[in-house]
Amino acid sequence: MLEVDVEVDRRDLTVRGAFQVAPGERLALFGPSGAGKTTILETVAGLVPHARGHVVLAGRVLTQTQAPRRAVPPWRRRVGLLRQDPGLFPHLTVRQNLAYAPGADPSGQETVAIAAQLGIGQLLDARPARLSGGQAHRAALGRLLLAHCDALLLDEPYSGLDDALRRVLTDLVRSLVAAREVPAVLVAHELADAQAFADRLAVLDQGRILQVGTPDEVVLEPVTRRVAELVGYRSFVPVTGPDGSVAGVHPERVAVGAHPGRGVVLAGPVVAFRPSGAGWEADIEARGAVLYCHLADRPATGGAELEITLLDPPFFGPDGALLPQASA
Amino acid sequence: MIGAGIIWLALLGPVITLLAHLSWSAIGSSLSAPGALDPLLVSLEAGGVTLAVLLLLGTPLAWKLARGTLPFPRFWEAGLLCSLLLPPLVIGLLLVFMVGPYTPIGEVLGTVHLSAVNTFLALVIAEVYESAPYYVLGAQAAFGAVDPRMEEQAALLGDRPAQVTRRVTLPLAGPGLAMALAVAWARAMGAFGAVIIIAYHPYGLPLQIWTTLQETGLASALPFALVLLVVALPLPLAAYIWSARARGRRRS
């Protein structure tokens, strides 16, 4: 079990993070750049000396700033950290990189087996400069596996790679986390990355965790308007209720036509549209707001009115908090 | 390409001229004189001690400058630049006022029967002053080129700080450090300005060239210039080749 409850003063804001991750569980810290996600991860790794609070991993107190104080240095934490740059040592071969951790044997069975499992068995004697991005990330992952870390921290490791490779590597990490039964924490600023990886998602903004929930729960029931904005609700349309109440419009949760039983039905002219992926993104004007919607079919041109249904949208009061009940 | 060739040839000009003006008989008569090669030994010994001092004291300073762990880092760098900017001759004069026999430092040295004027110690001090800024600034750049994330990764994999230095920092900074050391060695071997003021004796090679020039003329002084070149060149050359190979290995 990884238990984290920390606070870090940065120049721009104070970052607070409190969460627990069970062995084999995967938590994603999701939020915009500068929200404090990496700061929390680095605090767990022991790289932020002025952090307050406590970090406990597998029963070992790694950080505790209240008496009895404790600050285990990074080299004794047994915490693995993967960043976007795989950080392979350029002067060592892949084999030496894999078995870098003290105690690991470069020519041992485990090194060879893990290299084979990761699909880099043929590259053991190559230098990192000859590896592709995906191979370098596999080697970096193997290096952590051979170090037998008690927790895995991933700081947007695959954000520079193409989608297919990113998905393959994410699946690989998922299966390894399950097999090794270690807690894993991913930092991501792309919701899709966080959802593809995690069992649970913590939404972070301005140094605060705003919501923790399952990946679908956070998207379908954001607890505040700010969380809704962060998870992709791009526009908000007025609804009846306390003054200033709105419904969140997620571009992908819009159905063409009136389906009164499934949500809020609106109608308005299409003011603009453009191709987006395999469908279309349209700007629809309704109730004084411009709604961004993804449509499967190309809308009619000439400002024709389009009827749409917002599928079970979340409602927010004037203070931005989720309204349990509201109506169109 | 043409520009590179011009500057390379221009820099090599004095060496070519030196070789053109040398004759086997002049070399033979200059180098066979009794005690003619003593200054060579003095230069090698003083250069070796100088490099040891630089490695021991200059390397930690360069590392701290590169990592920005010193308070007021610009102040420390400015100090280095000052010693780089002062003409060596002026440094020599100031050293007389700093470590000469009638100064507090000189008196302390005197109590242990040492002197920092016209001794081997004085020669080493002068060479350290002339070469240290080149080494420290070069080593700082070498350490600065090591990604701190590499060191962080090594620590997270279980390396203590001393192991990180041995297994990651030094190997990665090695080629740059070797080049900095090569430049410092060249500076130390050729040190003249400060040396002529505080370490006229014992002669190193540059002073031998100077005194021979004054006493018997250019023809008999030039062979010693060749000796200086031949003796000083192997270390920087080896450093250069090793450094290039180490960098090449990382790319292949």
The model's pLDDT over A93-132, given as tens digits with 9 standing for 90+, comes to 999 999 999 888 888 888 998 888 888 989 999 999 999 9
Cβ(A126)–Cβ(A93) below 8 Å: yes
Fold that domain A2-220 belongs to in CATH: Rossmann fold (3.40.50)
For the cut 60, the answer to whether the pLDDT of residue A294 exceeds it is yes
Q: Please list the helix, strand and coil fractions of chain A in percent, rounded to the nearest 5, in that order.
A: 25, 35, 40
For the cut 80, the answer to whether the pLDDT of residue A325 exceeds it is no
Chain centroid, CA B9 distance in Å: 24
What is the enclosing helix (H) or strand (E) of A275?
strand A263-276
pLDDT in tens, A144-183: 988 889 999 999 988 878 888 888 888 888 888 888 899 9
Interface test with A, best of B150, B153, B160 (most A CBs within 10 A): B153
Structure-block tokens of residue B47: 């250069």
Q: Note down pLDDT in tens along chain B; length 252 residues.
A: 889 999 999 999 988 988 888 888 888 888 888 888 888 899 999 999 999 999 999 999 999 999 888 999 889 989 889 888 999 999 999 999 998 888 899 889 888 888 888 889 999 999 999 999 999 999 999 999 999 999 999 999 999 999 999 999 999 999 999 999 999 999 999 999 999 998 888 888 898 899 988 988 888 888 888 888 888 889 889 988 998 888 888 877
pLDDT band at A327 (very low <50, low <70, confident <90, very high): low
* A79 contacts on B by Cβ (under 8 Å): 156
The number of residues making up chain A comes to 328
Cβ contact (<8 Å) for A90 and B246? Answer: no
Q: Which residue of A has its CA nearest to B173?
A: A91
Residues on chain B bordering chain A, Cβ-to-Cβ distance under 8 angstroms:
147, 149-150, 152-161, 163, 167-168, 171-172, 246, 249-252
The predicted structure's pLDDT at residue A261:
85
CA-CA distance, A228 to A257, in Å (whole number)?
A: 24
Q: Three-state SS string across A92-113, please?
A: CCHHHHHCCCCCCCCCCHHHHH
Fold that domain A225-316 belongs to in CATH: OB fold (Dihydrolipoamide Acetyltransferase, E2P) (2.40.50)
Nearest to A75 among B147, B149, B159 (CB): B159
Residue type, B123: L
Closest CA to B247 of B177, B183, B182, B186: B177
Residue with tokens 């990189």: A97
Cβ(B146)–Cβ(B169) below 8 Å: yes
For the cut 70, the answer to whether the pLDDT of residue A242 exceeds it is yes
The structural domains of chain B, ordered by start, are 38-247 (1.10.3720.10)
Q: What is the pTM of this model?
A: 0.83
Cβ contact (<8 Å) for A100 and B154? Answer: yes
Interface test with B, best of A89, A96, A111 (most B CBs within 10 A): A89
Closest CA to A283 of A255, A230, A307, A274: A274
The predicted structure's pLDDT at residue B129:
93
Q: Which of A250-264, A298-312, B111-125 is least confident?
A: A298-312
Residues on chain A bordering chain B, Cβ-to-Cβ distance under 8 angstroms:
45, 47, 73-81, 83, 85, 87, 89-91, 100-103, 127, 129-130, 143-144, 147
* B250 contacts on A by Cβ (under 8 Å): 90-91, 127, 129
Domain boundaries, chain A: 2-220, 225-316
Residue type, B79: G
Query: What does the pLDDT average to over A31-55?
Result: 92
**Alpha-carbon separation of residue A262 from A50, A257, A313, B122, B232 (angstroms):** 50, 11, 9, 92, 86
Residue B202 preceded by cis peptide, ω within 30:
yes
What is the enclosing helix (H) or strand (E) of B26?
helix B24-32
Q: Which residue of A has its CA nearest to B155?
A: A75
Q: Which residue of B has its CA nearest to A97?
A: B154
Residue type, B247: R
Strand ranges, E, within B32-110: none
Q: Which residue of A has its CA nearest to B149?
A: A87
Cβ(A8)–Cβ(A39) below 8 Å: yes
* A49 contacts on B by Cβ (under 8 Å): none
Residue with tokens 């929200």: A35
Cβ contact (<8 Å) for B159 and A89? Answer: no
Cβ contact (<8 Å) for B156 and A75? Answer: yes
* A151 contacts on B by Cβ (under 8 Å): none
The predicted structure's pLDDT at residue B26:
81
Q: How far is B65 from chain A (nearest CA, A)?
A: 21
Q: Which residue of B has its CA nearest to A80?
A: B156
Cβ(A169)–Cβ(A61) below 8 Å: no
For the cut 90, the answer to whether the pLDDT of residue A24 exceeds it is yes
Residue with tokens 């203070």: A319
For the cut 60, the answer to whether the pLDDT of residue A326 exceeds it is no
**Alpha-carbon separation of residue B106 from A55, B83, B110, B122 (angstroms):** 57, 21, 6, 11
* B157 contacts on A by Cβ (under 8 Å): 75, 80, 100-102, 143-144, 147
Cβ(B171)–Cβ(B243) below 8 Å: no
The predicted structure's pLDDT at residue A161:
83
Cβ contact (<8 Å) for B246 and A91? Answer: yes
Cβ contact (<8 Å) for A75 and B171? Answer: no
C-alpha distance across the termini of chain B, in Å: 26
Cβ(B245)–Cβ(A91) below 8 Å: no
pLDDT in tens, A185-228: 999 998 988 999 999 999 999 999 999 999 999 999 999 999 99
Could you give phi then psi for residue A170, rounded to 5 degrees? -60, -45
The predicted structure's pLDDT at residue B182:
93
CA-CA distance, B217 to B210, in Å (whole number)?
A: 9
Structure-block tokens of residue B224: 């010693």
The pairing of beta strand A305-311 with beta strand A263-276: antiparallel
What is the enclosing helix (H) or strand (E) of B10?
helix B2-21
CA-CA distance, A315 to A212, in Å (whole number)?
A: 19
CA-based angle B142:B145:B149, to the nearest 5? 130
Q: Which residue of A has its CA nearest to B171?
A: A91
Nearest to B157 among A47, A91, A143 (CB): A143
Strands of the sheet with A263-276, listed across from one edge: A254-256, A305-311, A263-276, A279-286, A289-295
